[in-house]
Amino acid sequence: QVQLVESGGGVVQPGRSLRLSCVTSGFTFSSYGMHWVRQAPGKGLEWVAVIWFDGRIQYYADSVKGRFTISRDNSKNTLYLQMNSLRAEDTAVYYCARDGITFGGVNYFDYWGQGTLVTLSS
């Protein structure tokens, strides 16, 4: 069965960096675009970034562009999110999610991980 397992969250000081990982299994990782979506405590869903199935294309939300980098290692079935210059407003549960259609742009999210919590605190 499809599984997405995030890790790397924790408590970090503003201005510091953190790298999240999402290890996947149960499907052909290299055939699917992948996303990061976050949810601040008590708030709604906020899309963060997407990376194409082959890693050629990435898009970012305006709130993280220039600070976050999405990447993937298709040989390890793993998605990453490098987060630099972290701010208090980046506090959230970060979910990785699979795009619902193979080899094709951005669609919907058919599988989600359980999320990893990132907390900014000085």
| Interface stretch with other proteins, choices 11-19, 59-67, 72-80, 83-91 (CB under 8 A) | 59-67
Residue appearing with tokens 């742009």: 105
Which segments within 1-122 are labelled E, that is strand? 3-7, 10-12, 18-25, 32-39, 45-51, 58-60, 68-73, 78-83, 92-102, 109-112, 116-120
| Interface stretch with other proteins, choices 15-23, 42-50, 66-74, 75-83 (CB under 8 A) | 42-50
Query: Does residue 27 belong to the site contacting other proteins (CB under 8 A)?
Result: no
Looking at the Cβ atoms of 56 and 75, the one nearer to other proteins is 56
Query: Does residue 41 belong to the site contacting other proteins (CB under 8 A)?
Result: no
Structure tokens that stand for 15 in this block: 């201005």
Residue 99, SS3?
A: strand
Looking at the Cβ atoms of 14 and 55, the one nearer to other proteins is 55
* Range 60-119, binding other proteins (CB under 8 A): 61-62, 95, 100, 105-110, 112-115
CA distances from 45 to 32, 41, 93 (A): 21, 10, 10
Q: Return residues touching other proteins (CB under 8 A).
A: 35, 37, 44-47, 50, 59, 61-62, 95, 100, 105-110, 112-115
